[in-house]
Amino acid sequence: MPGHKRNPAFEAGFLPVKQDITEITGFDDLHHAEDIIKNAQDFAAELFGSREVFFSVNGSTAAILSAVSAAVRRGGKLLTARNCHKSLYHAMYLREIVPVYIYPGIDRETGICCSIDPEETERLLSENDDIEAVFITSPTYDGAVSDIRAIAEAAHRHSVPLIVDEAHGAHFCFSPYFPESAVRSGADIVIHSIHKTLPSMTGTSVLHRCTDRISHDKIARFMSIYQTSSPSYPMMASLDFCFHFLKDQGKIWFDAFTSRLEQLRNGLSQFQKIRLMDFYGAEYRKQKGFYDFDRSKILLSADCVKGGGAGLFRILQEKYLLEPEMSAYNYVLMMTTMGDTEEGFRRLYEAVSDLENHPEIFISANMDELSQKRSDFTERISERPEPVMRISEAMDSETAALPLDQCVGRISAEFMYLYPPGVPLIVPGERISLQFVQNMKRYVSAGMKIAGIRDCSGKYMDCVV
């Protein structure tokens, strides 16, 4: 193996056959790394400042599954932020874990989830002395960063480890322009999606073991379980290249990137209709409930745009050939990385500037009406579904697909989330409310992408019978 035998004849299809090998003599084994892969992982750990690094060629999903499985026994209890990626919920399903949720606040103006409150973390740990680990996402998809140091201190006072899904923050370690990384802030396990914000192939991630609160052996065991037994050598080579590139040229590239990014943000901040949603000022952030914010995320308000976030997304994509990362109800998210060019930033600035002069794309509403619209939206998404049974119990129960209006009061047997970012708005085992059903209809009518449920049109849901 592999079947192509590294024959150059197959390169015409852009298949990297020369790099695509398997665990032959001299090329090590990801699941028992002793040589070149171990050296590459050790190099990454030194670069980021962690104790140990595990490569993942199954993305951050495999790393999250492994971290949670290693930290919490089957049937144990996990304190977790409610706004985490679906892979965290899948880990709870597979391990029959009982969640205790920390609900982040929601900014009333934007509808964005705020940072996780360290005091709330401390309170819930004190009230639940059988919690075995804490799990949070920081930064969130939108860029909200939590006070990792304070949360880690709270977790450690109760003798439990802190796992941080920092998938979107791998770049934090390479420029003071960005918040401090969880790797350097006291977290015990940190997961990075290297491919999201650094120059590496899609699906490449790493798990950092920063302390001894979770053992090497447990992490290694579960990484071997959740990753393929035939790991991709091109993907591992991509990770190794990325880390050596950052070591040798990272400062030059990040200095140029952050300079261009600051210039772009300053330019976008002048517009009034398509506003740059900026949470940079410390006092302003504190009032809003944000500890810090990742400025590489460009959030453009679509309050005034016909069709809201989905409408602005389509305009940027179809008219200006820009590719937004996602659209929310009332804003669009543009992701920037060190790979963006000056020309790309210029095109985004010019697109927003041009749109400001097209009154036909905007709705007629005064500031009071817009404020009330935002407030109504925030109220709708602030609902906390009632948990009735374990995720695993609901998913393994007998179910029936029912029309959405008939689901009110029943127990969901499936997830529902808007993708991206893949944060479940309801999970199996939670009761379906009238508010949830009304929200679903709004999401569908707004053109937002519903995922997780079998019927992605949003007309039916699987319920426990």
Tell me which residue range forms the domain holding 275: 250-366
Give the count of alpha carbons within 13 A of 254, CB side only.
Answer: 20
Judge if 328 and 429 occupy the same domain.
no
Greater model confidence, 115 or 370 = 115
For 376-400, what is the mean pLDDT?
84
- Helix, strand, coil in percent for the chain, rounding step 5: 40, 15, 40
368 pLDDT above the threshold of 70? no
Judge if 39 and 92 occupy the same domain.
yes
Residue 272 sits in a domain whose CATH number is: 3.90.1150.10
447 pLDDT above the threshold of 80? no
Judge if 313 and 416 occupy the same domain.
no
Residue 398 inside a domain? The answer is yes
Judge if 55 and 107 occupy the same domain.
yes
pLDDT above 90 coverage of the chain, percent: 73
Judge if 89 and 199 occupy the same domain.
yes
Enter the DSSP assignment of 276.
Answer: B
Give residue-wise pLDDT tens across range 161-180.
Answer: 999 999 999 999 999 999 99
Judge if 262 and 241 occupy the same domain.
no
Residue 371 inside a domain? The answer is no
Residue 2 inside a domain? The answer is no
375 pLDDT above the threshold of 70? no
For 316-324, what is the mean pLDDT?
96
pLDDT at 458: 86
Judge if 142 and 20 occupy the same domain.
yes
350 pLDDT above the threshold of 80? yes
Burial string for 442-460 (b: 16+ CB within 10 Å, else e) reads ebbebebebebbeeeebeb
Residue 3 inside a domain? The answer is no
pLDDT at 361: 93
For 54-75, what is the mean pLDDT?
97
pLDDT band at 12 (very low <50, low <70, confident <90, very high): low
Average the pLDDT over each of 109-113, 128-132, 288-292, 357-361 and give the range with the smallest value.
109-113
Asked if 80 contacts 137 with a C-beta cutoff of 8 angstroms, the reply is no
13 pLDDT above the threshold of 70? no
Residue 63 inside a domain? The answer is yes
Please give the backbone phi and psi of residue 98, each rounded to the nearest 5 degrees, phi first: -95, 120
Looking up tokens 């035939």 gives 230
Q: Which of 366, 392, 408 is the last residue of a domain?
A: 366
Q: Which of 216, 245, 274 is the last residue of a domain?
A: 245
54 pLDDT above the threshold of 90? yes
3 pLDDT above the threshold of 70? no
Other Cβ atoms less than 10 A from the Cβ of 252: the count is 10
pLDDT at 1: 60
Residue 149 inside a domain? The answer is yes
For 183-211, what is the mean pLDDT?
96
Residue 433 sits in a domain whose CATH number is: 3.90.100.10
Q: What is the pTM of this model?
A: 0.91
Judge if 419 and 356 occupy the same domain.
no
Judge if 255 and 187 occupy the same domain.
no
6 pLDDT above the threshold of 80? no
Give residue-wise pLDDT tens across range 65-117.
Answer: 999 999 999 999 999 999 999 999 999 999 999 999 999 988 877 888 899 99
Greater model confidence, 253 or 106 = 253
Q: Which of 196, 227, 245 is the last residue of a domain?
A: 245
pLDDT at 374: 61
34 exposed, middle or buried (CB, 10 Å; 0-12, 13-18, 19+)?
exposed
pLDDT at 445: 82
Segment (H or E) for 399: strand 399-403
Mode of pairing for the β-strands spanning 297-301 and 292-293? unpaired
Judge if 136 and 46 occupy the same domain.
yes
Residue 378 inside a domain? The answer is no
To the nearest whole number, what is the mean pLDDT of the chain? 91
Judge if 98 and 178 occupy the same domain.
yes
6: left (phi over 0), alpha (psi -120 to 50) or beta: left
Residue 150 inside a domain? The answer is yes
- Secondary structure (3-state) at 230: coil
pLDDT at 315: 97
pLDDT at 373: 64
Judge if 362 and 433 occupy the same domain.
no
Distance from the Cα of residue 199 to its chain's centroid:
18
Residue 212 sits in a domain whose CATH number is: 3.40.640.10
pLDDT at 207: 98
Q: Structural domain tally of the chain? A: 3
